[in-house]
């Protein structure tokens, strides 16, 4: 574990900056807009964001709006039969303007409340299918990423030193053939995340481009390389498809020949690409090495105690294991032995030389009256010469042993 988890290294987290650039041109021809060319300035909104980029793929356009009064779009809250249904000055959560108090015809069969608003009001009931800018699938995105590990003063960027200008103009990222090319085709990004670009382009969504910079700085700096992965970040649940996708509104303002302010309102659907950079770097350092070695040794000691607790107190055979692990000392009559006679001992008392004998002497008032074991057999008691004492003698091989009780 120490080697696998690189416990001998000091670690640092990445500091990153990201810039993006989109490229691609397409053409549309509709009854409302006619023939029109779309380039980067038209579909990248806004032009720059922090670590992200929005590509417009679909839209609902309301042209030539002016501030006036007009009927609301029919729905449950705006359909009316008389002026009583349209209280003046009121607004709803989804209103396009402020009610004037009048109930006016929306068409030949439906009446709605009149509002003071930018007229004509937007009708976003139906989202265009297929996507208005379905050709955005072939647009490309250049990601420029600079990283820095402050602890080690190590910096690098995802446009590697061996990448030439010629290669950069022609390469497109591919996990197998061009894994370090920083230019991505939008359709391929969505495809690698397991989704269809044409389906996602209708109502929009959020895609994540993940750049992983995990580096072992004990090795050569050229081996510190970015790894790209892709995933869809907004929830796509077909069973609970309320307010799906990603969209917002913006307007382009201008004045007509009479000086009247007008605007073109665009509800833009599209895909926001978030560039998420993460990573860590490690380099050998003696301090974490010693700390982790000490921690590992301490953990081994704790493991021994923990195993004892489990075996002796938690397992079914805990009493059996407890008997085998511990030896219990009980208070028997015989409390001490000596392997050699000393001056003043019982053997010298009786004038015996050290030899093959065992002496047992009972304290006064506690004679040896029931026999005792010696060399695996029960020996009879021999009365001692001292009053109120008992003595037994056992021949054994070796020095005499005194046994006191």
Q: Which residues are annotated as a binding site for ATP?
A: 21-23, 140, 247-249, 267
State the binding site.
21-23, 140, 247-249, 267
Distances, alpha carbon 54 to alpha carbons 40, 188, 248, 393, in Å: 11, 16, 11, 106
String of DSSP letters for 48-80 = --SSEEEEEEEEEEEEEEEEEEEEPPPSTTTB-
Rounded CA-CA distance 50/329 in Å is: 77
Indicate the DSSP class of residue 122: P
Helix (H) or strand (E) holding 26, with range, is strand 26-30
CA-to-CA dists, residue 198 to 141, 187, 266, angstroms: 17, 8, 20
**CA 222/CA 214 separation, integer angstroms:** 13
Q: In a 10 Å sphere around its CB, with 0-12 CB exposed, 13-18 middle and 19+ buried, how is residue 114 labelled?
A: buried
Count Cα neighbours of 124 within 13 Å in the Cβ-side half-sphere. 18
CB-CB neighbours of 153 under 10 Å? 7
| Cβ count within 10 A of residue 20 | 19
Q: Environment class of residue 381 by beta-carbon count within 10 Å: exposed (0-12), middle (13-18) or buried (19+)?
A: middle
- Contact 226/159 with Cβ under 8 angstroms? no
Instruction: Give, in order, the Cα–Cα distances in Å from 371 to each of 219, 320, 362, 383.
Output: 81, 33, 12, 11
E runs forming strands in 136-279? 140-149, 154-157, 183-185, 205-212, 215-216, 227-232, 247-255, 261-278
DSSP 226: -
Calculate the alpha carbon distances from 62 to 18, 65, 336 in Å: 35, 7, 109
- As a whole number of Å, the end-to-end CA separation of the chain is 58
Neighbours of 208 (CB within 10 A): 18
């Amino acid at each position: 574990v120490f080697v696998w988890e690189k416990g001998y290294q000091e670690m640092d987290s990445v500091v990153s900056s990201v810039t993006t650039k989109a490229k691609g041109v397409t053409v549309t021809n509709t009854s409302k807009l006619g023939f029109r060319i779309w380039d980067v300035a038209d579909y990248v909104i806004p032009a720059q964001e922090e670590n992200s980029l929005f590509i417009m793929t679909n839209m609902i356009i309301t042209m030539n709006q002016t501030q006036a009064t007009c009927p609301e779009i029919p729905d449950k809250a705006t359909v009316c039969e008389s002026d009583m249904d349209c209280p003046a000055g009121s607004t709803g959560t989804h209103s396009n303007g402020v009610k004037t108090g009048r109930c006016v015809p929306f068409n030949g069969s439906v009446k709605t409340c009149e509002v003071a608003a930018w007229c004509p009001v937007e009708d976003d009931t139906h989202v265009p299918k297929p996507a208005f800018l379905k050709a955005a699938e072939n647009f490309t995105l250049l990601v420029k990423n600079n990283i820095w590990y402050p602890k080690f003063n190590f910096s690098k960027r995802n446009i590697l030193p061996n990448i030439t200008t010629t290669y950069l103009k022609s390469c497109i990222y591919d996990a197998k053939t061009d894994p370090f090319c920083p230019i991505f085709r939008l359709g391929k990004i969505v495809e690698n995340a397991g989704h269809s670009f044409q389906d996602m382009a209708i109502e929009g969504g959020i895609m994540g481009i993940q750049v992983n910079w995990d580096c072992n700085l004990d090795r050569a700096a050229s081996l510190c390389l970015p790894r790209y992965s892709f995933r869809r970040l907004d929830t796509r649940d077909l069973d609970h498809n309320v307010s799906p996708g990603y969209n917002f509104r913006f307007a382009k303002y201008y004045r007509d020949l009479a000086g009247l302010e007008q605007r073109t309102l665009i509800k833009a659907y599209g895909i926001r690409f978030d560039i998420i950079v993460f990573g860590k770097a490690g380099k050998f350092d003696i301090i974490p090495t010693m700390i982790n070695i000490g921690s590992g040794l301490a953990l081994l000691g704790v493991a021994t105690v923990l195993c004892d607790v489990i075996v002796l107190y938690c397992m079914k055979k805990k009493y059996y294991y407890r008997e085998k692990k511990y030896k219990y000392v009980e208070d028997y009559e015989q409390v001490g032995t000596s392997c050699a006679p000393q001056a003043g001992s019982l053997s010298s008392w009786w004038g015996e030389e050290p030899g093959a004998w065992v002496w047992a002497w009972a304290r006064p008032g506690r004679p040896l009256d029931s026999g005792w074991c010696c060399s695996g057999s029960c020996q009879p008691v021999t009365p001692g010469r001292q009053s109120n004492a008992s003595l037994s003698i056992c021949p054994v091989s070796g020095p005499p042993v005194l046994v006191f009780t």
